[in-house]
Amino acid sequence: MVKTKGLFFALGFILLVMVSCNSGQNNTETADAVKVAVLTFEQQAAGLVDKAIIIEGTVLHTCKHSGKRMFLVDGNDSIRVEVTAGKDITKFDEKLVGSRVRVFGILKEEKIDEKYLNEWENEVKKPVENHEAGVHSGAKGHEDQGVQDKLDQIYALRDDLKKSGKDHLSFYSVEADKFEELKK
């Protein structure tokens, strides 16, 4: 009987240690993450580049071709946050549209400068059969556009860059490590 009690005590202690270690790991994953709201994402983004964040929002759109991008909104469709699939996410299912999700990821910055715009414009102006070989052929947000649409976007970005008085424009997104659908 004494041996049995000792065995149960030892097993109970091991189980307690395992549970404590596992819950500690989960807390560590999110303890350093900063909670960011969709509505204030742009104001907070510059100070959180390459940092872990948690963001919640309603899925407005998922990219149909690759499934590697989705856009979150929160009460105001004019403010959107782009979320890209990290290495552990195969794709964002189209069924997520309209769902509320919580995303855990890293805030990323894409810098667009004059050099980038010149390279992109040169690629767009290449003959159609050479488009897939370009540096910017798979650039985010450009895969579904026609040549004129891409040129219009390049010209608009160039104009925005000039008006900004800076040497680059910054665009922020979240590279998702994981996400969960929130039930209503």
Closest Cα partner for 112 from 47, 171, 46, 164? 171
Residues 79 and 126 in one domain: no
Dist. CA 161–CA 156, nearest whole Å: 9
Residues 54 and 143 in one domain: no
Dist. CA 38–CA 77, nearest whole Å: 10
Residues 177 and 98 in one domain: yes
Please report the pLDDT score of residue 29 as a whole number. 56
Q: Which helix (H) or strand (E) is 112 found in, with range?
A: strand 100-113
Residues 55 and 85 in one domain: yes
Residues 103 and 42 in one domain: yes
Residues 132 and 100 in one domain: no
Please report the pLDDT score of residue 10 as a whole number. 40
* DSSP at 73: E
Type of residue numbered 94: E
Q: Domain tally for the chain?
A: 3
Residues 99 and 26 in one domain: no
Please report the pLDDT score of residue 126 as a whole number. 84
Question: What CATH number has the domain bearing residue 69?
Answer: 2.40.50.140
Please report the pLDDT score of residue 171 as a whole number. 95
Residues 74 and 87 in one domain: yes
On the CB side of 40, how many CA atoms lie within 13 Å of its CA?
9
Residue-wise pLDDT tens for the chain (184 aa)?
445 444 344 434 343 333 334 333 333 356 789 999 999 999 999 999 999 999 999 999 999 888 999 999 998 778 899 999 999 999 999 999 999 999 999 999 999 999 999 999 999 988 765 555 555 544 545 455 688 899 999 999 999 999 999 999 999 999 999 999 998 7
Full domain range(s) for residue 66: 33-110+171-182
pTM above 0.95, yes or no: no
Please report the pLDDT score of residue 144 as a whole number. 52
Residues 94 and 176 in one domain: yes
Residues 73 and 84 in one domain: yes
The full 3-state SS of 37-56, as one line of letters, equals: EHHHHHHHHHHHCCCEEEEE
Residues 92 and 178 in one domain: yes
Residues 22 and 2 in one domain: yes
